[in-house]
Amino acid sequence: MLKRILPLAVAAALALVVAASALSKSNVTTLKGTVGPGFTITLKKGGKKITSLKAGKYKFVVADKSDIHGFTIEQEKGGSFEKAITPVSGMGTKSATITLKKGNWKFYCPPHESSMHGEFKVT
């Protein structure tokens, strides 16, 4: 009898580990960014403009609609993080999972940063 129960217990434990792993991956909030085709850049969560977020891991999905724009995110004032999610010379949708730390953050188009940018605070 024990020989039958032990494999079932192992299989059940393995199923729980796999389920927990899948849940932890799905807990990452998705943020949607758009750059172009005109001189616009946005970052939204659930269709609403972002002004603040809680510190943690986020998946950035950026639709780059112009080969003269790019989408870069960075932590301002003392932060050491900067990442180009889409390059200036390319188009298409790219994604990156980024852990945001407390502080002020900005996103921008590198060649048009003075007019194409946005900011948000991470608490």
Residue at 87 is within a domain: yes
CA gap 51, 4 in Å, rounded:
56
Tell whether pTM > 0.75: yes
Q: Is residue 15 part of a domain?
A: no
Q: b vs e for 17-43, b when ≥16 Cβ sit within 10 Å of the residue's Cβ?
A: eeeeeeeeeeeeeebbbbbbeeeebbb
Answer whether residue 7 is part of any domain: no
- Domain enclosing residue 79, as ranges: 28-122
Segments in the chain below pLDDT 50? 17-18
Q: What percent of the chain has pLDDT over 90?
A: 73
Mean pLDDT computed over every residue of the chain: 87
Domain total of the chain: 1
